[in-house]
Structure 1
Amino acid sequence: MLGAGTQSDPYIVKTPDDLNNVRNNLTASYQLGNDIDMSSWGNWNPISFYDGNNWVNGFSGNFDGKGFRIKNLTVNKNNNEIYLGLFGQFHNGTLQNVGMENVQINTNNAGNCSYAGSLVGFSYGATIKNCFSINGSVKAKDESGGLIGKIDTGIVHNCYSSNQVTITSEYYGGGLIGSVDSNSVVRNSYSSGRVIYTNSSSYNGKSGFAGFIRSNSNILFENCFFDKQSSNQETSPTIGISGKTTIEMKNQSTYTNWDFTNTWLIKNDYPSLRAFGVPIVANKGTISVNAYTNSTNSLAAKSQKSVKQLETFQQPVYTNSERHIATLRLSESYGLPIFSVAEKSTRTVRSGQFNVITFINPISSSVERKSKTFKHLLSSLSPLGSDISVLYPLSTRVINAHVYALETPSRAYMIENISKVSYMENPSSWEVID
């Protein structure tokens, strides 16, 4: 296992083998690293249980479940074994944040197996808090409960159980705790499991939460409840334990002074601990439902798409034609050749040869600096001449004339190499006098 077994660096329990090895160091600190399924383990020997022959010291370290669960643990004992559960004995340490699911503790009716609980058989001087056990069963002779068999000089806080408890003698058992002895405190806890006595017992009917409670022994119960319907136990044996109906047990207002902000949550069911998340609702049974429907008839008529016809009418189109006689003017334009004069000048700025003396061999270097070549492009344009011939009107009729203007620009394109040429337009223009 990982860890050093100290409170600051506890051993990490992640497998059934890790859990079994806890018995090899009963004073160390442990914590669960994940849920553990014990279904393949078989018959579990509780940590620190008494087999009727060899006495074993109780576990006195610390065990923190960290909100994980131990599932499908089975304990089968037939003779005189006592202190049965995940832990047989848990003394003077802290056991917290452990969830137990489907734990089965079975003993022989003829045996003397006692002090049984799904989590702890017998606890002395220990603190047990934020723990639960559900969907399981505990069967033993006496002093046995759904979560804890017996506590003495200990504290139980924020715990619950729904396990069925069966007592095979005339003695006592309880829904959460089988018996509570001197100098013990139990707060904010409940039970909802059924409690069954196979023999006639004076404790039957008042063992919904706890069976035997030693009188005048500095024992305190605060805000504890049991379901008097599901447990089949009607009477509360002492102050601080109240029997409620199932409906009341699923109502938050029943649980006065409980912390439903940080510790508990309730959603139309019994309360559960926030450290373990929202509980999964147990399967109450399977119901097969056969559904039948009558034949479905449909009357469908064939429908034809509607046809839309669009007719467009256009009025006659009339045109007016007029003949116009215009004066014809002819214009001819000539573009004379464009002559360009380009000058090129090259200037050598400096040319020479220099010797560089070193301590190895002379190095000679030829340095020549040349300026860029400047090109000047001069363009000249001779005047353009235009000859216009005019034909005079043949009659005095009003003439509508249409004139179009034609441009014959002269253009020179720019070529960049330091030389720059701009272009000039020399349009031909004329006037028309009607």
Structure 2
Amino acid sequence: MKCKKLVSMFLVVFMLVSIALIQTINVSADSSGTIYVSSYPDLVNMMKNPGGSYILLKDIEINNADNFSVQNFSGIFDGNGHSISFSNSREGGFVEVLEKGATIKNLHVYISAATGTDNVGIIAGTSYGTISNCWVSGYVSASGINCGGLVGKLSGGSVSDCYSLATVSGTSIYGGLIGAAENASVERCYVSASIEGSRAEAGSFLGSNSSSSINNCYYNSSKNGAFLVVGIGSDTVTAKTSEEMKSAETFAGFDFSNTWVHIDGEFPKLVCYNGKGTSDNPYKIHTNDELISIIQPYLGDAGTGRYYQLAANIKNYSGPSLGDDNSRFTGFFDGNGYVFYNTNISSGGIFYSVAENAVVKNVVFDGYNYSGGGVAGAVASINHGTIDNCNVGNGTISGSKDLGGIVGENINGTVTNCSFTGDINGRGSGIGGIVGYNSYGTISNCAVYSGTIRSSDHSVGGVVGDNSNGLAENCFSLASVNTSTSESGGVAGRLYNGVIRNSYSNAGVYGNDSNSIGGIVGSIIEDGVVENCLYNKELVSVLIGGTEDKTGGISADELKNDYYYSGFDFTSVWTVDESGECIVLSSISGKGTKENPYLIRTSSDWIELELE
């Protein structure tokens, strides 16, 4: 494999991720007989064994699943804090009948439109079993009787610690959580659903109650004021306004230590699905909306010591950067092997400003676009903390000054084990493949695999545009560098009292000022130091612009050979890629061995590997 064909294959960290090309994983079972579910075909297999014990391993998105229906489920289905989403209209919900003794728990189900005649619900049409720690969203409707957000008809079964945000439409006996409950138990549930249709035998919480026990249950009275809480039968459900439902104190009987979690400005969420924000149980983020609603309330000092983790891929995020320089991100964020696909943010990075002592790690972008006038980098516009193991593929960044593939401005912060592939176009100074402006910060073990880094102003570098009193070590760039004015370097455009060490560049460097073009650094100011660096002497004539220093200049063929990399650590930092075409960083590429395999983050990574 050619070095430049590796491109985003080196956007490698950590684990295989759930990409479209690798969605189908065969059903497997452990020694106890529990069957693992991680794809739509796995769900289909449930139809053949409705009495089995299942556990969901990841969120599943399903299109065109009209034929999927578990008609009579008598086993155990543990959603394991994940989601099943049906994006198309379909007849019925996830399960038609949940038999007595059967259980569905720890699950979110979204159906864009679940329809039917009688007994229609998003989790189950009819339930004689147990449903706990579940929530539903989407739309459900019935032309006959018994339609509910969660369950159409609950007969002798139980529902506990559940909630519904679904829209429910019916003609007779329908409710936000349950259509009809007969001799059943409902505990610690709430509804903030929209109810549509006639008001006959309909309730915001429950359509009909016959000899059922309902305890510690609530509904949002700010919605559906024209409807009764329970259409027919006894009513022990408590009405609360939207504002009251954002307070944990509202929900008597709810266990906010183990089952429920309160997030400022939000209705209660389930711990199994959204976590607790601790190191051993981080807040779990599944969607674009949750990225904002879970992190935004805890920017600044309120977020210190809070932990966040992606629980699914984030697609087409176009929301705001999180925080500002007065409300920095102060917690710990882990991308957890998931991917931001096709991200388009006009205000900068996912985080605007990462605070000192905060950590953002394992974040991957497959498609990132920024076009604006401010400081920007895909992960953070400004970093004072630690950015680790973050990788951007197919990036396009266009703006003014201080633009970087990962971070715009790194102020006393650390950026390590990161990579970028794409193009960066600036109109001002400080334009770099990894960091735009690095002030007293550290950039280590970072790579720019391909693309063009350019600006119509000065200080443009393959890795860092303007390195002021900072350190860049163990980095390389294969991207061409071009400035319309001065200070263009293969690794750093400007080096002001900083250090560039054990790094190399293998690409062309261009500019209008021939005295400030360098294979490693375009211009050194005061006491900047370049130590043990290599560049392609066939493309650039000197190590440092404005000097005659040709130290480290070797041929393109020699740059492929570790023999010429004296002083580089090939034990733990550097390695030769499997084709022998270039020297890469083992921390972000792997070695293709059993102990250190090539790891794949994006669909293009997989394609490149298959081509090999």
TM bucket, shorter chain = 0.5 to 0.7
> How far apart are 1:211 and its partner, in Å?
0.4
Aligned to 2:140: 138
Matched, 1:254 2:250: yes
Residues 137 and 258 of structure 1: is their aligned pair in 2 closer, same or farther, counting only changes over 3 Å? same
- Identify the match of residue 243 of structure 1 among 239, 245, 248: 239
**Greater relative contact order, per chain length (Cα 8 Å cut-off, separation 6+):** 2
Q: How many residues align?
A: 257
Aligned to 1:172: 173
Q: Any gaps of 5 or more consecutive residues in structure 2?
A: 1-25, 275-282, 294-317, 321-345, 348-371, 373-612
Rounded Cα–Cα distance in structure 2 between residues aligned with 1:210 and 1:248: 20
Rounded Cα–Cα distance in structure 2 between residues aligned with 1:212 and 1:234: 13
Q: Quick check: 2:65–2:86 contact (8 Å CA) kept in 1? A: no
Q: State TM-score, norm by structure 2.
A: 0.39
Q: Which amino acid aligns with 1:178?
A: G
Matched, 1:230 2:226: no
Tell me the SS of whatever aligns to 2:73. Answer: coil
Tell me the SS of whatever aligns to 1:88. Answer: strand
Rounded Cα–Cα distance in structure 1 between residues aligned with 2:131 and 2:30: 20
- Please list, as runs of the form range in 1=range in 2, the aligned pairs for 1:87-106 lying within 5 A after superposition: 87-92=95-100, 93-106=102-115
Residues 118 and 276 of structure 1: is their aligned pair in 2 closer, same or farther, counting only changes over 3 Å? same
> How far apart are 1:105 and its partner, in Å?
1.0
Aligned to 1:210: 206
Q: Quick check: 1:209–1:226 contact (8 Å CA) kept in 2? A: yes
Matched, 1:273 2:282: no
Matched, 1:119 2:123: yes
> How far apart are 1:21 and its partner, in Å?
1.2
Q: Quick check: 1:208–1:233 contact (8 Å CA) kept in 2? A: no
Residues 23 and 233 of structure 1: is their aligned pair in 2 closer, same or farther, counting only changes over 3 Å? farther
> How far apart are 1:34 and its partner, in Å?
1.3
Q: Which amino acid aligns with 1:95?
A: I
Q: Quick check: 2:260–2:268 contact (8 Å CA) kept in 1? A: yes
Tell me the SS of whatever aligns to 2:78. Answer: strand
The structure carrying a bigger helix percent of its residues is 2
Q: Which amino acid aligns with 1:96?
A: K
Tell me the SS of whatever aligns to 1:21. Answer: helix
Q: Please give the per-residue CA displacement for 1:375-420, whole angstroms capped at 9, x wherever unaligned.
A: xxxxxxxxxxxxxxxxxxxxxxxxxxxxxxxxxxxxxxxxxxxxxx
> How far apart are 1:45 and its partner, in Å?
3.2
Rounded Cα–Cα distance in structure 2 between residues aligned with 1:5 and 1:115: 35
> How far apart are 1:101 and its partner, in Å?
2.9
Aligned to 2:165: 162
Matched, 1:64 2:64: no
Q: Quick check: 1:228–1:234 contact (8 Å CA) kept in 2? A: no
Aligned to 2:511: none
Aligned to 2:532: none
Aligned to 2:39: 15
Rounded Cα–Cα distance in structure 1 between residues aligned with 2:112 and 2:148: 12
Aligned to 2:588: none
> How far apart are 1:17 and its partner, in Å?
0.7
Q: Quick check: 1:221–1:240 contact (8 Å CA) kept in 2? A: yes
Residues 5 and 143 of structure 1: is their aligned pair in 2 closer, same or farther, counting only changes over 3 Å? farther
Residues 159 and 138 of structure 1: is their aligned pair in 2 closer, same or farther, counting only changes over 3 Å? same
Q: Quick check: 1:104–1:118 contact (8 Å CA) kept in 2? A: no
Rounded Cα–Cα distance in structure 2 between residues aligned with 1:130 and 1:27: 20
- Please list, as runs of the form range in 1=range in 2, the aligned pairs for 1:327-366 lying within 5 A after superposition: none
Rounded Cα–Cα distance in structure 1 between residues aligned with 2:319 and 2:30: 46
> How far apart are 1:9 and its partner, in Å?
2.7
Provide the aligned C-alpha RMSD in A: 2.8
Rounded Cα–Cα distance in structure 2 between residues aligned with 1:232 and 1:3: 48
Q: State TM-score, norm by structure 1.
A: 0.55
Q: Which amino acid aligns with 1:228?
A: S
Q: Quick check: 2:62–2:86 contact (8 Å CA) kept in 1? A: yes
Aligned to 2:481: none
Matched, 1:47 2:70: yes
Q: Quick check: 1:5–1:30 contact (8 Å CA) kept in 2? A: no
Tell me the SS of whatever aligns to 2:243. Answer: helix
> How far apart are 1:286 and its partner, in Å?
8.7
Rounded Cα–Cα distance in structure 1 between residues aligned with 2:69 and 2:150: 14
Higher mean displacement: 184-193 or 238-247: 238-247
Q: Quick check: 1:5–1:29 contact (8 Å CA) kept in 2? A: no
Q: Which amino acid aligns with 1:208?
A: S
Q: Please give the per-residue CA displacement for 1:103-126, whole angstroms capped at 9, x wherever unaligned.
A: 42135xxxxx121111111111x1
Rounded Cα–Cα distance in structure 2 between residues aligned with 1:137 and 1:245: 22
Q: Which amino acid aligns with 2:110?
A: E
Tell me the SS of whatever aligns to 1:172. Answer: strand
Residues 47 and 235 of structure 1: is their aligned pair in 2 closer, same or farther, counting only changes over 3 Å? same
Q: Which amino acid aligns with 2:42?
A: D
Rounded Cα–Cα distance in structure 2 between residues aligned with 1:91 and 1:192: 27
Structure index of larger Rg: 1
Q: Quick check: 1:45–1:75 contact (8 Å CA) kept in 2? A: no
Rounded Cα–Cα distance in structure 2 between residues aligned with 1:74 and 1:122: 22
> How far apart are 1:25 and its partner, in Å?
1.0
Q: Which amino acid aligns with 1:154?
A: G
- Identify the match of residue 54 of structure 2 among 24, 30, 44: 30
Q: Please give the per-residue CA displacement for 1:159-179, whole angstroms capped at 9, x wherever unaligned.
A: 011000011x2x110001111
Rounded Cα–Cα distance in structure 2 between residues aligned with 1:44 and 1:241: 37
Rounded Cα–Cα distance in structure 2 between residues aligned with 1:240 and 1:192: 17
Aligned to 2:514: none
Q: Quick check: 2:163–2:177 contact (8 Å CA) kept in 1? A: yes
Q: Any gaps of 5 or more consecutive residues in structure 1?
A: 49-57, 78-83, 108-112, 292-434
Identity within the alignment, %: 28
Rounded Cα–Cα distance in structure 1 between residues aligned with 2:89 and 2:153: 17
Q: Quick check: 2:167–2:176 contact (8 Å CA) kept in 1? A: yes
Higher mean displacement: 115-124 or 68-77: 68-77
Q: Which amino acid aligns with 1:174?
A: G
Aligned to 1:418: none
Q: Which amino acid aligns with 2:85?
A: K
Q: Which amino acid aligns with 2:242?
A: T
Tell me the SS of whatever aligns to 1:209. Answer: strand
> How far apart are 1:63 and its partner, in Å?
0.8
Aligned to 1:194: 194
> How far apart are 1:239 and its partner, in Å?
4.0
Q: Quick check: 2:109–2:122 contact (8 Å CA) kept in 1? A: yes
